[in-house]
Amino acid sequence: MKKFYYIVRPQLEEDFKERNGWKDISVYKLEDDDLVHIVTFATELENDSQKDVLEFIYRDVMADETIKLVEL
């Protein structure tokens, strides 16, 4: 089982400091006791973050392994 970590940050409008309906998701994996950044992508704020991360990992990183996600 591979373990991946992710952080979710809502995007804010620069001038107003209000949410703009989008969020950034950063994905990491552990290598030699260090978190290694894999990707950061944007998605709609209402989307399920865990589902979006899993879709990315299965599509672009590894398709045939069991994945465990941890939100930081």
pLDDT in tens, 14-65: 777 788 889 999 999 998 989 999 999 999 999 999 999 999 888 877 767 7
Q: What does the radius of gyration of the chain's CA atoms come to, in whole angstroms?
A: 13
Q: Could you give the number of structural domains in the chain?
A: 1
Q: What is the pLDDT of residue 2?
A: 85
- DSSP per-residue letters across 19-37: EEEEEEEEEEEEETTEEEE
CATH number at residue 10: 3.10.20
Domain that holds residue 6: 2-71
Amino acid at 35: L
Residue entry with tokens 């006791």: 33
Residue entry with tokens 């703009």: 20
Q: What is the pLDDT of residue 26?
A: 97
Classify strands 19-31 and 34-44 as parallel, antiparallel or unpaired: antiparallel
